Structures are given as C-alpha cells and as structure tokens.
Amino acid sequence: MILVTGGAGFIGSNFVLDWRAAHPGEAVVNLDALTYAGNRENLAALDGDTGHVFVQGDITDRALVDRLLAEHRPRAIVHFAAESHVDRSIHGPGAFMKTNIDGTFTLLEAARGYWATLGEPEKAAFRFLHVSTDEVYGSLGPQDPPFAETNPYEPNSPYSASKAASDHLVRAWHHTYGLPVLTTNCSNNYGPFHFPEKLIPLMIVNALAGKPLPVYGDGMQIRDWLYVKDHCSAIRRVLEGGRVGETYNVGGWNEKPNIEIVQRICALLDELRPSPEGSYTRLITYVKDRPGHDRRYAIDARKIERELGWRPAETFETGIRKTVQWYLDNAAWAQRVQSGAYRDWVQKQYAA
C-alpha cells in the first residue's frame, strides 16, 4: 500500500493510473482536496477497482492524515498535492503558502510520527517522496548550463518560493529527524488530464473554440518539456531505487520557446482537425508579459540516468502529438472542467 496526495490532479492522477497498471498487486490510498484542479473524473478508469481507495480531504488536516496512516499502514507517501500555477500565485499567494508549506509540514510531521511506530524491516523500507519543480532554481540565461541538483535556489514567484520552502522542509526533516525522504524536481509537464489554464491545454481548447491564443510578451520564454507519463515512470524509479536524502532532477531534454510550442500545436490541429477559417495560427495573440516571468528553465537529468537508468521514452514530437490527439478524443472532459469560475479567471488573466 502507498499513500498518494493530490492524486486527482493532473500529474497525480496520471501517476495513480499508471501505478495501478504497473503494480496491480499494490493498492493506492489517494488523498485529494478536489480543488478546482482536482477532478475525480480523471480516475474514472479505476471505478470498481478495490485497489484504489479515494479520500477527499486536505493535507493540512493532521487528524485525517494520522488516521489514514494508522488505518492503511502505507510503505511510502508520494506527495504531489500542491497549488501549482504561477499566475494564480501572483493573484492569490495565500493559498500557495497554506497548501505547499503548511500542508507539506503537516505531512512530514504525520509521516515522522507514523514512521517512528514501524518495526524493522518496515521502518528501513519506508519512503517519503516529495514531488517538486525546476522553478525553485529561478531563471537561466541563454547560455547557462541546465539546472543541476547542486544549483542554488532562486525562486522568483510566490509559487516557486512556496515550493522551495517545502523542499527545504523535506531536507530538514531528513537531516534533523532521519526521515527517509526523496525529492524530485521536474520540468514542465504536459499530457492527458492537464487542466486548461496551463500553456499547452489552454492553446488546444482555445484553438478548437476559435478563441485567441494568448502568448506572453514575445513568446521566447524557454521551457524543458516532459511528457507526464515519462515523469510518472521516473517517480516510480526513484521510489524503487533512489538514495535516501537525495534529490533527482527529471527533465525531457526538450528545450522549446513558448511560441514554437503554440505554432506546433496549431500545425497539428491544422492536420488533425482543420478549421474552415484557415490555419489556427491566425488566433495567436500577444499579451502583456506577467510579472517576474522567468526567461528560461532547463533540466540536467544526467544524475537520474546515471544512478537509476531512467530516460524519457517520448520525444517532444511524439508526446505533443499524443497530447493533442487526447484532447481531440476527450473534448467532453475538457468542456466539463471549464466551469464558469475558470472562464472568469481566464478573462481576468488575459484581458489585457
């Protein structure tokens, strides 16, 4: 049994689905607060699966977390639950401090108490795997080498600052209390079930609806893109063989400027779902850049390759084609997650 937090969100739900496929004999307790980005529908394929126990609840609820640990006795906690959107953190940083910092602290303390009750060999085998982001490292210059695990932390947004704080808590609980932790810092994920506030799904759903495709500034912000199922396989590998107390950067070896991503999505939609109005590139609209927008991220993923033998299976070309096709095949899902509150937020964010 493992406990997963945030397992109804984008990356978490993909992880839970893949875990049940890869480890059918090991159950998952899935704790998620079902905020705007959490969606039980992501987990519909597990309906009737007795190896998936879903619990709606908040990771800051210590009594609930204690009860789940005592009742289910997991051998590991895989911690995805987080507020994760930079733009939302600019408008409302408080929720990010609560979930990402207070929530991680609550989980660590609950895990420490539970871990102390375990006998051998369960105590030696227990792991707390914290899933984090490359944004904690700040921004890279055009010629700077990619982020390595030894890079100093230089977060530039409320979101990345809150994740940096949570990373430091995880490290401290290992060095102070001996809690057997692992941390992963990933690059930008994309793929199925991605909530359409982020770049790739927003471009897809807006293009299909004939709406503007908002591109910040000059569109030359560079990110390293990682297909979500590759990220899930990396987390499974770190959980299986990672060295306690270590951090592993997980990247896709796919540095791309945002405008190139948008143009590639338009080209795929021109091929797979052509519009009678002409190429989807006609919808590209440049908008005012967001405050503190990091110019470039890139991940050096050689450590996880060297120590654990992991590399991404997807290139960007194969991954983005699968992603666009998924949204074409699951238009009803995308429509349902775009509530009135979501539409109001998009209007507020990109009105300028």
**Is 159 a member of any domain?**
yes
**Is 333 a member of any domain?**
no
**Is 149 a member of any domain?**
yes
**Is 336 a member of any domain?**
no
Instruction: Tell me the whole-structure pTM to 2 decimals.
Output: 0.93
Residue of 114, 137, 159, 190 with catalytic role: 159
Domain that holds residue 115: 2-193+226-253+296-314
Question: What's residue 91's pLDDT?
Answer: 84
Question: What's residue 211's pLDDT?
Answer: 96
**Is 20 a member of any domain?**
yes
**Average pLDDT of adjacent 10-residue blocks, the chain of 352 residues:** 97 98 97 88 95 97 98 98 83 93 98 97 98 96 95 95 98 98 97 91 97 96 96 98 98 96 98 98 94 89 98 97 98 81 54 55
As for how many domains the chain has, the answer is: 1
Residue of 58, 83, 135, 294 with catalytic role: 135
Question: What's residue 198's pLDDT?
Answer: 86
CATH number, domain with residue 188: 3.40.50.720
**Is 169 a member of any domain?**
yes
**Is 213 a member of any domain?**
no
Amino acid at position 125, single letter: A
**Is 55 a member of any domain?**
yes
Q: How far apart are CA 137 and CA 156, in angstroms?
A: 9
Residue of 134, 167, 294, 314 with catalytic role: 134
> Would residue 159 show up in a list of annotated catalytic residues for this protein?
yes
